[in-house]
Amino acid sequence: MRVVLCPKACGTPGIQAFRMGEHLNSSCPSLYREPICPPCEPAGAPQIRMVPCPWGCGAEIEPSELPLCPAHTAVCPNGTKPCGNGCGVVFTQPFTAQDDADHGTVCPLRAVDCPNECGECGLTAATLTEHLDRHCPYLCVPCPLACGHEGLRAKDVQEHVEQACPNRAVQCCNNCSQPLTAAILEFHLSHECALRCDPCRLGCGVQRLLAKDHDAHTEGRAQSPGPCPYSNKTCKFGCGIVQLFLKDVDSHLTDECPLRPVLCPNGCMNKTRTSNTRVKACNLSQHLAEECPLRILQCCWHPTHAVVAEDLEKHERSLCPFREAPCPAGCGTIIKVIEESRHLDQFCPKRRTNCRMFCGTTIPLDKMQAHERDECPMRAVHCPNGCDMFPHKIRAKDLEKHLRVCPHRETNAEEPSQCPSRLVLPAART
């Protein structure tokens, strides 16, 4: 909008050009003067207050012509004419009707009709674009729910969104509370709804089974209406059977599973001796043949001896009478234990026997000669004095007594023990 100064220099700031007439007619403090009665008017005629031309040409005009002053504007050399639509454009002299017509085709405030024929009144060229973009009820707009519907008018959007749009929110008729759109409702009801009723897909005979319980039913976890007897289970012993129905689990675990634990028929105990041994059914034969501590084995010393496996080592090491062992007397001969007594009595070179001179000592046979020669108190010895009173008849145990009475003993010896030729006998071995 063009801003002009008051032609009477009243000092009022910022007067818009199309409001100049209003200013000069009612608010300008310097343009009023006392009304003058024209001389041609009869006495008593109403007085008219004249105002000067707002464009400063010097002419006086009636206030009723303000603010546009159409009559005076046509002759005023300084006259201006604002656009009748109020767009702010002001025409100056000289101007013609063609100027009005030309401006009317471009004036932003000219009246226009909606091209969509919506019937909206009061549209101008300036507001037409906003009207077409935002307010026209016949404007083609996209669906706010992005369903892709084409040719949707703005006035039909509400009805479309509430009744026809496939992306509108709808509620499941089973009240499953899952957020849905109209496009997927049918599929949801037939395939996804957790509250729909379907027959058991494994064919156990249950006809009305809630979909949310279907997995638990077919997996054998449901409490009501109970687990499906045709649900596939896994063997708890891990045998790897591919198809095991719930109805067959008990018989499989009891009679068929190769990994089921079974009691050893020999009744052997476990390592802690707290219960009977349980082995896998597939390993029972190996257990009975190689592992069971109560299996019967043959003694290695005598094939006719049957011994329990857990006692075999002890039997072969210390109990079997046919086992071989070194002679207990230390002669180095390897003999069977059952023949030990006979060996010690008859054949062992280190068997203990009584002295043949009847001294009463029992000694090993291989030391008998040394004993009879050097140690036996009953052996025959010579007198060391050479008396030869009793040749070869003096016993070693009587030699000391003989020396006391030997005729060849030293007479100056007070005691036999002081005899220089006294024979010192070695201690008898027992």
* pLDDT tens digits, 5-45: 777 767 677 677 667 777 776 677 665 444 444 455 455 54
Give the integer Cα–Cα distance in Å for 416 and 409.
8
Q: Is a pLDDT exceeding 50 seen at residue 50?
A: yes
Residues of CATH 3.30.40.10 domain(s) within the chain? 261-319, 325-367
Number of H helices, E strands in the chain: 13, 20
Residues 301, 323 contacting (CB under 8 angstroms): yes
Q: What share of the chain is helix, strand, coil (3-state, %, to 5)?
A: 30, 15, 55
Average pLDDT for 122-149: 81
- The pLDDT tens digits of the residues spanning 173-192 come to 888 888 888 888 888 888 88
Q: Which of 62-76, 88-102, 236-250, 284-298 has the lowest mean pLDDT?
A: 62-76
Cross-strand partners of 3: 16
- For residue 202, the one-letter residue type is L
Phi, psi for residue 31 in degrees, rounded to 5: -105, -5
Residue with the larger pLDDT of the pair 418 and 281: 281
H or E element at residue 402: helix 399-405
CATH code, residues 261-319: 3.30.40.10
- Can you tell me which residue has the tokens 């009679």? 255
Residue 251: CA atoms inside 13 Å, Cβ hemisphere, count? Answer: 5
Residues 137, 118 contacting (CB under 8 angstroms): yes
Q: Which of 377, 386, 379 is nearest to 406 (CA)?
A: 386
- For residue 359, the one-letter residue type is C
Give the integer Cα–Cα distance in Å for 306 and 293.
13
pTM above 0.85, yes or no: no
Phi, psi for residue 172 in degrees, rounded to 5: -65, 135
- CATH class (in words) of the domain with range 325-367: alpha beta
- The pLDDT tens digits of the residues spanning 383-414 come to 887 776 665 577 888 888 888 888 877 754 44
Give the integer Cα–Cα distance in Å for 90 and 22.
16
